[in-house]
Structure 1
Amino acid sequence: MPPAPPVHDLPPGQAQLRQTREALTLQFAGSPSIQSSMSLLNPHALDLEYTRLMMGFLLFDSAPARILMIGLGGGSLPKFCHRYLPQADIEVVEIDPGVIALREAFRVPADDARFRIIQADGKAYLQGDPAPADVLLVDAYDGKGMPAALCEAGFFRDCHRALSPQGILVLNLHLESETCQVCLDHLRAVFGTALFEVIDDDMTNCIVFACKGERFEETDLGAALRKPAHLAKDAWRQLAPTFKVIEATLTMR
């Protein structure tokens, strides 16, 4: 995430909006990083590279039936999935009511039959045995990195259990965080070799893909890099360059 001017006079960790002529951003007090960014010209675009990387799950499952997300932020990923994956049931778990309160500012859609935001602790929610997810996106941030409670081995075992038999976990880690390597070690212990990492352009985010089964090995990436018939052209135009980066990473494994 690119650096931004510090937010002053707010309690550490409190969400704060900032607006320029081009974008609306979300930043947490006490952190130099921009957590989320929305283009005012194209509010449904994925403005930050790491969010486009997280959508890389489409290379392996282009039409997931159920998507579960831990962490709302500015809502870039939920908004994108809601718009371009109309077949998906989408559930977002966010612990901070202050972040949820900003959903209208970031033009996150209202709850409906296939989209809902739940205020809850993501760790506790997974322990409650939710319906299996075809895709589980974890993008939780407390101003320093992954919250400590989500950096424990038990959380990653719960993530594994929450996936459907061929489900995919996508996790955003912050390379400068002290817990990044700890989380990677726990993930490898749970998912074994069914895991790979991609680093974003500015070398601040490590996006981890992990799965149940052999989905990564079985996917024909050449075919996957062709636009699925059901995905809108404007969505594919945003994602295609980033998907080539993921393909290159897998090729070098």
Structure 2
Amino acid sequence: MKAPLATAAAMLGLVLGTANATSVLMERETAYGALRVEQTQSRRCVVASYDDRDAQHYIGCISRAQLGKLVLPYTRNLLAALLVQPKPQRVLVVGLRTGVVPRTLHTLLPQTYIDVVEPDKGLSTLASGCCFWFTNDHMRLINANPRAYVAAAAREDVRYDLVVLDTPGPTYIPDALMTREWLTAVRELMSNGAVLAANTWQTSPLYAHESATYAAVFGDFYNMRFDDNRLVIARKGPLPSDSEVQANARQWAPSFWLAFHTHVNDLLPLMDSEPDWPPDTRVISASAPPQALRAGTVKRTYAWYESVLTPLARAIRNRPVTAALLAILIIGMSIAAARPRTVAKEG
């Protein structure tokens, strides 16, 4: 009896292993670094290795079994923008990724005009070839530098009711697309009552500075935090009342569920407008660029370590057993932190 059971277990393991096996369909060098298209039985993803820590970051994913399924949580949570501006007539999406975000909006708003600005033609080709990205009379792709496009659109007096900033970079959001000057230029393109939705990370060392910058340009905003990600949902004008958001949620609930199996009740608890950063946090700007603020963050971190570790070293100087145990603990933590890892951080 043991042999058949062992054979069955081995076959089950083989089947499960095959189902979860990952194959690389394509690799391409882009402005965002080296990207590869990975595929399992259930989904296909565009993946970037942004740093030297062997951490993977997903540019975007699609479901192979259900084309309409929103695989990455941030793509589902972005639907919250429609609870603040339920009927946008014209939409700007900065950053194509795999085309999931603009395609999702097009599914829900087929008569809305959607402009997608993507500077990298290589990513555009990859998205259309591997991720079912397409254009039509209501959804167009503009291969241009985002700042140049925003400036040109402002000269032509173009206005958008919804703007989505979804811009991966070689390490994070490009520095030029984090400043008060950039967000102010984007705000000028927005109609009164229009909404901005920006995809960022809550684990970013500049989290507080980014938050202060959005607040400086837009005032109060919804700060949607989940996993390692954070979505900023801001409005040109005061945020809507809770009753307005609830009414919009009831309007969109059937469509969200039927098209994407997304419950509005999963979105509403994430829509927190209370500031969680120090009130004196410096705003990111041309005079205080991200690089300088990152350096300041590192210096403050080292200063904190020094303030903690120096007294600790003095305290255990004449206690060899305690010092040895502490050294073992630190070495173990360092080994664990150095292990290669795969994280589902979304660009």
Please classify the TM superposition score into its range, dividing by the shorter chain length. Answer: 0.7 to 0.9
Where do 5+ consecutive residues of structure 2 fail to align?
1-21, 277-347
Give TM-score, length-normalised by structure 1.
0.85
Match of 2:104 among 80, 87, 106: 80
Asked whether the 8 Å contact 1:70–1:139 carries over to 2, the reply is yes
Q: Quote the residue 2:192 is aligned against.
A: 165
Q: Quote the residue 1:14 is aligned against.
A: 34
1:156 to 2:176 alignment: no
AA at the equivalent of 2:83: L
Higher helix share goes to which structure?
A: 2
SS in structure 1 at match of 2:241: helix
SS in structure 2 at match of 1:33: strand
1:1-253 → structure 2 map (5 Å cutoff):
13-31=33-51, 32-104=56-128, 105-109=130-134, 111-130=135-154, 131-193=158-220, 195-200=221-226, 202=227, 204-217=228-241, 220-228=244-252, 231=255, 233-235=257-259, 237-247=261-271, 249=272
Distance in 2 between residues matched to 1:229 and 1:184, nearest whole Å: 29
SS in structure 1 at match of 2:38: strand
SS in structure 2 at match of 1:129: helix
Distance in 2 between residues matched to 1:206 and 1:223, nearest whole Å: 24
Where do 5+ consecutive residues of structure 1 fail to align?
none
Residue 219 of structure 1: CA displacement? 5.2
* Percent of aligned pairs sharing the same letter: 23
Q: Quote the residue 2:337 is aligned against.
A: none
SS in structure 1 at match of 2:212: helix
RMSD over aligned Cα, in angstroms? 2.7
Residue 44 of structure 1: CA displacement? 2.0
Range that drifts further, 209-218 or 59-68? 209-218
AA at the equivalent of 1:85: L
Pair member with larger Rg: 2
Residue 137 of structure 1: CA displacement? 0.2
How many residue pairs get aligned? The number is 243
Write out the 4+ residue segments of structure 1 that deviate beyond 4 Å after TM superposition: 7-12, 250-253
Residue 63 of structure 1: CA displacement? 2.1
Asked whether the 8 Å contact 2:62–2:70 carries over to 1, the reply is yes
Range that drifts further, 124-133 or 48-57? 124-133
Give TM-score, length-normalised by structure 2.
0.64
Distance in 2 between residues matched to 1:124 and 1:73, nearest whole Å: 19
AA at the equivalent of 2:151: Q
